[in-house]
Amino acid sequence: MRPPRADDYTAFGNVEARNGLQGRVELPLLLLALRLPRGARVLEIGCGRGVALPVLAERLAPSALVGVDVDPPLIELARQRVHRAGVAARLVEGDVRALPLESASFDVVIDFGTCYHVGGGAEGARAALVEVARVLRGGGLFVHETPVAQHLAHPVRSFGRTLPWDSVPSLVRHRAALLWAARRKRGGAGARGGHARAETTSDAAHGGCAS
């Protein structure tokens, strides 16, 4: 795979009403439904303008909170947002396909759709999931949107997009709640075994809530 380029990804437009809904409703429901641990080391990939970071700080009281985004102007906006909120969060410019972070350094990785829309098609999505698995410690959780959530939020842009779970057999189904799901990383770093089929928007159409 060629080195990642920032222009591989087209940022979603800023919709303040959507931002408010995410902060006041979506995130609290997600945290409740998936029962995420408090005091963990938390990473949000594709953090954008940092809308979720203050809520994660308040609700999870993480021991470390990091947001990563490939877009430098968005990272600066996120930095301003967490500063105004008085939140201790580290903001990092980086591509999810080549995260500038140490292996096994997070207990929870949260993604609000970045892996579905990363550049490079199936290869890009595969690289992103491999990186997520790399930075998670053994037993850590990867929290992500399901195809249902993607269809509701981005019905055109998300059509036919998949998450190739077979490329990361270390991430196994853990918990699901219609719009969101969590996968747990097996054992320690480098653990192998087990395969899960690729998750597509058609899974949800057949009553499955992919995790």
* Torsion angles phi and psi, residue 25, rounded to 5: -120, -55
Rounded CA separation 188/193 (Å) = 12
Indicate the pLDDT class of residue 151, thresholds 50, 70 and 90.
low
Whether 55 is covered by a domain: the verdict is: yes
The mean pLDDT of 19-23, rounded to a whole number, is 59
The rounded distance, in Å, linking the Cα atoms of 119 and 55 is 28
Residue 27: partners with Cβ closer than 8 Å, 6 or more residues away: 52, 55, 56, 59
In a domain, 13, yes or no: no
Answer whether residue 210 shows pLDDT above 50.
Answer: no
Distance CA 35, CA 42 (A): 14
Our count of domains for the chain comes to: 1
List pLDDT tens digits, range 97-135: 999 999 999 999 999 888 888 888 889 999 999 999 999
Is residue 37 within 8 Å of residue 66, measured between CB atoms? no
- C-alpha count within 13 angstroms, C-beta hemisphere, residue 74: 22
Instruction: Report d(CA 71, CA 10) in Å as an integer.
Output: 9
For residue 41, the model assigns a pLDDT of 98
C-alpha closest to that of 195 among 161, 163, 170: 170
| Any domain includes 18 | no
DSSP-assigned beta bridge partners for residue 80: none
pLDDT > 50? residue 3: no
Contacts of 142 (CB under 8 A, 6+ apart): 108, 109, 111, 132, 133, 136, 171, 182, 183, 184, 185
Lowest mean pLDDT among 61-70, 109-118, 187-196: 187-196
Return the CATH number at 163: 3.40.50.150
In a domain, 174, yes or no: yes
Mean pLDDT of 130-149: 90
The dihedral of CA 61, 56, 131, 1: what is its sign?
Answer: negative
10 occurs within a structural domain: no
Supply the range of the domain harboring residue 121. Answer: 38-205
Residue 2 lies in a domain: no
Residue tagged 């290869």 (tokens): 123
pLDDT interval class at 187 (50, 70, 90): confident
In a domain, 86, yes or no: yes
Say what the pLDDT of residue 42 is.
98
- Domain membership of residue 172 (yes or no) is yes
**HEC readout, 82-114:** HHHHCCCCEEEECCHHHCCCCCCCEEEEEECCH
